[in-house]
Amino acid sequence: MARVKPVQDWATDFDHADPAYNENAHQIWDELRATCPVAHTDRYGGAWLPVRHDDVAAVARDTDSFSSEGAVLANRPPRDEFVSLAPIGAAPPITSDPPFHADARRLLLPAFSPQVIAEWEPEVRRLCNELLDRMGDADVVDAAVQYAQHIPVYVIARMLGLPVEDSDYFRETVHLVLEEIGAEFGERQGGFEKLDAYLHAHVQDHIENPRDDLIGFLLNAKIYDRPLEQQHIVGTIILLLVAGIDTTWSSIGSSIWHLAQHADDLARLVNEPELMPTAIEELLRAYAPVTMARMIAKDAEIGGCPVKAGENVLLAFPAANRDPEVFPDADKVVIDREHNRHLAFGLGIHRCLGSNLARLELRVAVEEFIRRFPKFELADKSAVTWSLGQVRGPRQLPVRVLQRS
Ligand code: HEM
C-alpha cells in the first residue's frame, strides 16, 4: 500500500517509498543520468540521489563527510528528539564510522570466511530442493513467494541460532525496517521495541544454554579486550537478519525474473553450466538489489553539486552498475561478460561482509531452479510486484513452468 505522496518529478522530489520507484528504477536512473545526475528531494529531512558510477563511488569512499549512521533513509524522530548513536550506530558495523567501524567489522570476518560459508552449500541445496518439491506439479509457481523469500531467511536463522519457525516474523522485521520507511517514526517504534525484546530474550537464552552458532560466536567475541556490550550484540544480529534476508531474496527473485523473460540466456545456462560464475556476477550487476544511505556529516560536494551537513544521500550502487561510461552495454545482460567490476556489494570500508554467503545462496538457488525447470516464462507480467525502498526485488513472481526435469 502506498503510504507516501506520489512522486511527480524524480529529479526534484524523489521518494524511494513510492511503489513507482522500484517498479521503474532502471528507467528513472537512466533519465536522471542524462538530465540531472545528482537528484534531490526535500522529503526525509532532505536527501540527494547520485546515479553516476563515479559519484556513488566517491561518496562511499569519503567516510569523513558521509556518515553511515543513517544507513536507512526513513522518517526519523524530529531533530530535537533524535539521539545520535555515532560512532557505533544502531547496527554495527554497517551503521558505524571510523575508527570504531574497523574493529566492529574485524571481529565478524572469521564467521563469514569462504571456508566457513562453503560448508553451508549442501544445506542450501537441500533446502532449495525441498522448496521445489513442495511446488508439486503446478503449472504456475510463484518464484518469489514459494522459493526466493525462504532461502536466505532459513539460512541466516540457522546460522544465528534463532528458531526457523519464526521466519514469518523475520520477514515482518525486514518489512518494518526497510519498507515502512514512509511511515511516521512513532508508528514504527512499537515494532522496534518488540524486536529488541525478542532478540534480548534469545541472547539471554544463549547465555544460559551456550551453543555453537553466530549468537554464541558474538557472545564469545571481544572488542578492546572486553566482551561486546549486549546492545552491540543485538544490533549486529539485527544487521545480519536484515542484510542477510531481503538482499539475497531480491537477487534470487530478480535473476529468475530475468531468465523467465530471456529464453536464450536460460537455455545457455542450462546447456553451458560453466557459464554460471560469470552469469551470477552479471545478474548481480544488472539487478543489484542494495542501495545504502549516508547522513551528510559536513558540507561537501557530490559531482560538483554542493551538499549541506544534516541532509542525506541515497547511495544507489544499482544505478552505478548501469552507468554506460563504465559498463559497455550497461542496460543489457551479457551472461559471459568478462570485465565486471560491479558495485553490487558496495565498495570501500563497508563492502559487503556477507558476499561469500550471498553468492553461494544465489548460485545454488539459480542452479537448482533451472535444473528442475529448464524452461519457464513469466505467467503474467502485470502480476509481478516489487519491494519498496532501498532493497529492490520482486515480491510476487508467478512463472509458468514449460518443462520440468
Ligand atoms: C545479494 C545479496 C547481498 C547484497 C547485494 C549485499 C550488498 C551489500 C552492500 C551494498 C553493502 C555495503 C553497505 C554500505 O556501503 O553502507 C553491504 C554491507 C554488508 N552486508 Fe551485504 N549484501 C548481500 C547479502 C548479505 C548477506 C547474506 C549478509 C550476511 C548475512 C550480508 C552482510 C553484510 C554486512 C554485515 C555488511 C556491513 C559491512 C560493513 O559495514 O563493514 N550481506 N552489503
* Calpha distance 58→338 (Å, rounded): 25
Q: From ligand 1's centre to the CA of 247, what distance in Å?
A: 8
Planar angle of CA 47, 355, 363, nearest 5 degrees: 120
* Whether the predicted pLDDT of 260 surpasses 60: yes
Residue 9 forms part of a structural domain: no
The per-residue pLDDT for 81 is 64
User: How much of the chain, in percent, has pLDDT values that exceed 70?
Assistant: 98
Residue 352 forms part of a structural domain: yes
Q: Which residue has the cell 529529479?
A: 11
The per-residue pLDDT for 82 is 64
pLDDT in tens, 314-344: 999 999 999 999 999 999 999 999 999 999 9
Q: What is the average per-residue pLDDT within 379-385?
A: 96
Residue 7 forms part of a structural domain: no
The per-residue pLDDT for 87 is 66
Q: From ligand 1's centre to the CA of 344, what distance in Å?
A: 9
* Whether the predicted pLDDT of 275 surpasses 60: yes
The CATH number given to whatever domain includes residue 47 is: 1.10.630.10
Q: Which residue has the cell 531480491?
A: 250
Integer angstrom CA distances of residue 35 from 12, 31, 157:
12, 6, 44
Whether 120 is in the pocket of ligand 1, judged by its Cβ within 6 Å, is no
Whether 235 is in the pocket of ligand 1, judged by its Cβ within 6 Å, is no
Beta bridge partners of 222: 227
Whether 239 is in the pocket of ligand 1, judged by its Cβ within 6 Å, is yes
Per-residue pLDDT band at 181 (split at 50, 70, 90): confident
The per-residue pLDDT for 80 is 58
**Ligand 1 atom 39: the closest Cα is on which residue?**
350
Whether 92 is in the pocket of ligand 1, judged by its Cβ within 6 Å, is no
Residue 193 forms part of a structural domain: yes
* Whether the predicted pLDDT of 295 surpasses 70: yes
* Whether the predicted pLDDT of 14 surpasses 90: yes
Q: Count up the domains in the chain and report the number.
A: 1
Q: What is the average per-residue pLDDT within 126-145?
A: 97
- Name the 3-class secondary structure at 112: helix
Q: What is the average per-residue pLDDT within 159-185?
A: 91
Q: What is the pLDDT of the chain when averaged over all its residues?
A: 95
- Name the 3-class secondary structure at 240: helix
* Calpha distance 16→14 (Å, rounded): 7
Per-residue pLDDT band at 90 (split at 50, 70, 90): confident
8 A C-beta contact, residue 315 and residue 62 = no
CB environment 274-294: b (16+ within 10 A), e (fewer): eeeeebbbbbbbbbbbbbbbb
Pocket mutation for ligand 1, best pick of 246, 345, 349 (most atoms within 8 Å of C-beta):
345
* Whether the predicted pLDDT of 277 surpasses 90: yes
Q: Which of 8-17, 115-124, 172-181, 376-385 has the lowest mean pLDDT?
A: 172-181
Residue 11 forms part of a structural domain: no
The per-residue pLDDT for 1 is 44
pLDDT in tens, 193-205: 999 999 999 999 9
- For residue 221, the enclosing domain spans 19-403
Strands 385-386 and 394-396: antiparallel
Q: From ligand 1's centre to the CA of 307, what distance in Å?
A: 26
Q: What is the average per-residue pLDDT within 159-178?
A: 93
* Whether the predicted pLDDT of 7 surpasses 50: yes
* Whether the predicted pLDDT of 109 surpasses 80: yes
Residue 171 forms part of a structural domain: yes
Whether 170 is in the pocket of ligand 1, judged by its Cβ within 6 Å, is no
**Ligand 1 atom 14: the closest Cα is on which residue?**
350
Q: From ligand 1's centre to the CA of 185, what distance in Å?
A: 24
Q: What is the average per-residue pLDDT within 216-242?
A: 94
* Calpha distance 400→377 (Å, rounded): 5
8 A C-beta contact, residue 311 and residue 65 = no
